[in-house]
Chains A and B, each alone.
Chain A
Amino acid sequence: MIDLDTFRADARAWLATMVAEFGRDARRGLTDEQDLALGRRYMAAKYAAGFAGIHMPKEFGGRGLSGLHKLVFDQEEAPLGFPTVYFGISLGMPIPIIMKFCEDKAWVRERVIAALKGEEIWCQLFSEPAGGSDLAGLRMKAEEDGNGWKLNGQKLWTSHAHQSDYGIIVARSDPTVPKHKGLTYFWVDMHSEGVEAKPFPLLDGTIVCNEVFFDDVKLTDGQRIGPVGGGFGVAMATLMIERYVASDADGFGPTIPFFVDFASEVEFNGRPAIEDGRIRSAIARNYALRNGLRSIRDRAFLMMEAGMEPGPEGSLSKLVSVRSRQKLCELAIDIQGGAGLAYDREAFGQEDWIASWLSCPTGRIAGGADEMLLNTIAERILGLPQDHRPDKGVPFNQIPA
């Protein structure tokens, strides 16, 4: 296997040749559609260059390298601001899930390669109006229909659903048993009759999330992933993958070195802001925190390489990193005072304090709200008692609405 330093150098050299066509500056002024098209071209180029599916098995069209190689590539790619956002969830959770669970390997291989090339996009249809933090409380109905299934109901907060070709979905196949036991997991074709995705803007103006309506959508039983009634288990496996995919020590926001540069250039009280003790304190504490997260992540990857199960501390990343990002964004705006009020709507979130700040609340809610993560840590890791749950053990259709 190619060593990490050589791999990093290769990646860096290749990425440098892509900046003019796909970098931040090239994306300025594009419509969402144009940007997505640019993103698809980038993914195709990435596939051709051998940097797609870096840690995915060769049999499915990946390169068969380690998770650390993937991490190295991501570290090099992320600061360049390429249009990859459309493919993050797609390749992060649904693709690994179909690789792991679907039996028609030839079909899976086709899907994986199409997703790696950016030709197809997958979404993850989990949350609903009545089931976000309480995922198992979802109401999407899956009824047996001949040899297959029929879906009726609504999903919510589904990122990129309006741009997706396929989705993975959890639905209630049996309302007469307690809520965790009556769920079944499927993949769906988002172009099927009866599927309608309606995008809506979030508070920062970005249009990523959708309401998705299912009206008598027919599925074959071959689209089922895992056993009937075993959907919650597959959903948990999906979220376990998400823990590492959706993990970035900087909370997907500006880095500490970026803040240091900023605080060295901008003045406060007539001196470089970085000379102010309060600002130094914030930098130091946030650096220490993020360095800890990086160390946890690196250790987890090393353990996985060595065939060991990484420790549960990996679950801290999302909880801790986005809070850090939120506070540092607030401080950056504070340092500038009135000069910090101007907002460039096209700014890149990793290099703009306001753009980053506006999307922080999403980061603290999507993929598990802070409060849910704390519950999970307390209950699963520390063995503290569960909250009082009046719906526990009660058949779903007898839970008071």
Chain B
Amino acid sequence: MTILYDEAQQAIATESRRVLDDGYDLQRLLDLVDETGQHDERLWQSAVEQGWTALSVPEQYGGLGLGLVELGLIAQGLGAVTAGAPFLSGNDAFVQLLLAGDDKGTREAWLPKIAAGEAIGIAALGEGSSPLPAEPAVTYADGKLTGTKSAIAGALQADVGVVWASSGGSPALVLVELTKGMRRAVDSFDNARLYAELVFDGASASVLLSGDPAREAARDGLARQAVVIAHEQTGGAEKAMQIARDYALERKAFGQPIGAFQSIKHRIAELYGLVELARANCIDAAAREGEADFVLKACAARLSASEAYDTAARDAVQIHGGIGVTWQLGLHLHMRRARSLAAELGSPLFWEDLLVGELEGAGA
């Protein structure tokens, strides 16, 4: 697949940016910071209207049948506005895992609903600090699921999930309908991500895939989700860099714009470098899906996007000086989001290890 965006893809990027900019509501986002279980419903409704929920669902199930590139472009837009509705990547991961299984009934039951925005899905793979433990502690036996999954973005509002579990000594991907009693809200520094632990106490569930095919599907699903989130991080990083640049042009000190001082302008130039490297890695990874080195490329995208967003958010605040640390300016939305996105799907420490493992494997 080419790494140049075609016209349709460019149009998706432009149009999604326009919709997101139109709906941007800083006050709403600030309010969401302190409330658990709340998200920006208006934004989510426009996402559904725009067909973003249908984007990666195959056409036969009422979707648009588009790919990771298109999804990434929307995610970039969502990242730029620190969107208050965390469903894009979870929905897509759910869809991919359902497609990896061979159960036609579950696909027909859930995919049209996901595409229409009538249901929200998630992939619940991680436990503790690992986004994909080799031997999950959550167990499946006799149609029942038991154990706890670590904080999953979007889980507080999700209707259905695919869960990574152990079943009689081998791994399995298991479909479970989520109810209120299973969701334990995590009151976090970025509540708009709707984090919840999922606690299963004999919840009724069904196996989609087991053994090595499950392991492979989970790994690919995780890599794909990492690429989507990396796009979101890149969008956020680019926006934070632009905000810093604009402020450096406008704010004057010592008789000139602060952007004329090399300590400021070089710092912003370094951010530009990080953002472009992250973008390049995202584009590369999105084009490599299905190839042998997809996981490796996903690791690179995830790592460089995490670094870009953390650094851009941190430096944007620093460049603003005092005004940067006020509640009302809202720059902290980027600072919070940079950290939450970096930590929620396996932190950079995890992705570093995975990347080197892939390189070692390639050499062996």
Per the 8 Å Cβ criterion, residues 271-312 of B in contact with A are 272-273, 276-281, 283-284, 297, 299-301, 303-304, 307
- B243-279: CB near A (< 8 Å → 1, else 0) gives 0010011000000110110101110111011001111
- Contact: B257 with A385, CB < 8 Å? yes
Say whether A288 faces chain B, with CB atoms less than 8 Å apart.
yes
- Contact: B276 with A296, CB < 8 Å? yes
- Contact: A313 with B276, CB < 8 Å? yes
- Contact: A292 with B304, CB < 8 Å? yes
- Contact: A261 with B352, CB < 8 Å? no
Q: How far is the CB of A241 from chain B (nearest CB, A)?
A: 21
- Contact: A375 with B300, CB < 8 Å? no
- Contact: B281 with A291, CB < 8 Å? yes
Q: Which residues of A contact B299 (CB under 8 A)?
A: 284, 288
Q: Which residues of B contact A383 (CB under 8 A)?
A: 245, 249
How many A residues touch the partner, as a band?
35 or more
- Contact: B266 with A371, CB < 8 Å? yes
Interface of B is mostly: helix
- Contact: B269 with A291, CB < 8 Å? no
Q: Which residues of A contact B249 (CB under 8 A)?
A: 383-385
Choose from A256, A288, A294 the contact partner of B303 (Cβ within 8 Å).
Answer: A288
Q: Which residues of A contact B283 (CB under 8 A)?
A: 295, 299
Choose from A283, A285, A313 the contact partner of B359 (Cβ within 8 Å).
Answer: A283
Q: Which residue of A lies closest to B364 (CB)?
A: A264
The winner among B248, B249, B300 for most chain A CB atoms within 10 A is B300
* CB within 8 Å for A377 and B4 given contacts A257-B363, A281-B352, A287-B355: no
- Contact: A382 with B272, CB < 8 Å? yes
Q: How far is the CB of B241 from chain A (nearest CB, A)?
A: 8
* CB within 8 Å for A261 and B363 given contacts A280-B352, A284-B303, A377-B269: yes
- B316-357: CB near A (< 8 Å → 1, else 0) gives 000000000000000000000000000000000101110110
- Contact: A274 with B360, CB < 8 Å? yes
Interface of A is mostly: helix
Choose from A289, A295, A303, A377 the contact partner of B284 (Cβ within 8 Å).
Answer: A295
- Contact: A264 with B360, CB < 8 Å? yes
- Contact: B4 with A306, CB < 8 Å? yes
Say whether B27 faces chain A, with CB atoms less than 8 Å apart.
no
- Contact: B260 with A303, CB < 8 Å? no
Say whether B2 faces chain A, with CB atoms less than 8 Å apart.
yes
The winner among A264, A292, A378 for most chain B CB atoms within 10 A is A292
Q: Which residue of B lies closest to A316 (CB)?
A: B273
Q: Which residue of A lies closest to B264 (CB)?
A: A384
Q: Which residues of A contact B304 (CB under 8 A)?
A: 288-289, 291-292
Q: Which residues of A contact B349 (CB under 8 A)?
A: 277, 281
Say whether B12 faces chain A, with CB atoms less than 8 Å apart.
no
Say whether B66 faces chain A, with CB atoms less than 8 Å apart.
no
Say whether B3 faces chain A, with CB atoms less than 8 Å apart.
yes
The answer for the CA separation of A284 and B352 in the assembled complex, in Å, is 5
The winner among A319, A381, A382 for most chain B CB atoms within 10 A is A382
Per the 8 Å Cβ criterion, residues 89-125 of A in contact with B are none
Q: How far is the CB of A280 from chain B (nearest CB, A)?
A: 4
The answer for the CA separation of A388 and B260 in the assembled complex, in Å, is 8
Q: Which residue of A lies closest to B305 (CB)?
A: A288
Choose from B4, B248, B260, B351 the contact partner of A299 (Cβ within 8 Å).
Answer: B4
- Contact: B269 with A285, CB < 8 Å? no
- B23-41: CB near A (< 8 Å → 1, else 0) gives 0000000000000000000
- Contact: A320 with B273, CB < 8 Å? yes
Q: Which residues of B contact A285 (CB under 8 A)?
A: 303, 307, 352
Say whether A298 faces chain B, with CB atoms less than 8 Å apart.
yes
Q: Which residue of A lies closest to B270 (CB)?
A: A374
Q: Which residue of B lies closest to A311 (CB)?
A: B276
* CB within 8 Å for A291 and B265 given contacts A283-B356, A284-B352: no
Say whether A386 faces chain B, with CB atoms less than 8 Å apart.
yes
Q: Which residue of B lies closest to A291 (CB)?
A: B300
- Contact: A374 with B269, CB < 8 Å? yes
Q: How far is the CB of B318 from chain A (nearest CB, A)?
A: 16
Choose from B2, B257, B259 the contact partner of A302 (Cβ within 8 Å).
Answer: B2
Say whether A387 faces chain B, with CB atoms less than 8 Å apart.
yes
Q: Which residue of B lies closest to A279 (CB)?
A: B356
The answer for the CA separation of A305 and B187 in the assembled complex, in Å, is 51
- Contact: A316 with B266, CB < 8 Å? no
* CB within 8 Å for A292 and B281 given contacts A319-B273, A384-B268: yes
The winner among B278, B279, B359, B363 for most chain A CB atoms within 10 A is B359
Q: Which residues of A contact B351 (CB under 8 A)?
A: 284
For the complex of A and B, 5 pairs with smallest distance between CB atoms = A292-B277, A284-B352, A295-B280, A378-B265, A295-B284
26 sampled A-B residue pairs with Cβ under 8 A: A257-B362, A261-B363, A264-B360, A274-B356, A274-B360, A283-B355, A284-B353, A288-B281, A291-B280, A291-B281, A291-B284, A295-B283, A295-B284, A296-B280, A299-B283, A303-B4, A313-B279, A371-B266, A375-B262, A378-B272, A382-B265, A382-B269, A383-B245, A384-B265, A384-B269, A385-B249
